[in-house]
Amino acid sequence: MATGKQMLEAVLQAVRAHPDQKELRLSVFDAYDLEKLTPSELQGFGVDSQRSELISGDLLNGSLGELSNWLGVRLVPDKVQKNLIPGEGLRRTAGIWWTGDYDPDALVEEIRRLRNPGAK
Q: How confident is the model at residue 85 (pLDDT cuts 50, 70, 90)?
A: confident
| Model pLDDT, residue 104 | 65
Q: What is the pLDDT of residue 81?
A: 86
| Dist. CA 31–CA 114, nearest whole Å | 10
Distance CA 70, CA 46 (A): 11
The answer to whether 119 and 113 have CB atoms below 8 angstroms apart is: yes
Q: How many residues does the chain have?
A: 120
| Cα torsion through 112, 117, 52, 1, rounded to 10 | 30
Q: What is the pLDDT of residue 96?
A: 53
Cα separation, 42 vs 106, in Å, equals 30
Per the CB < 8 A criterion, the answer to whether 52 and 43 are in contact is: yes
More confident residue, 8 or 117: 8
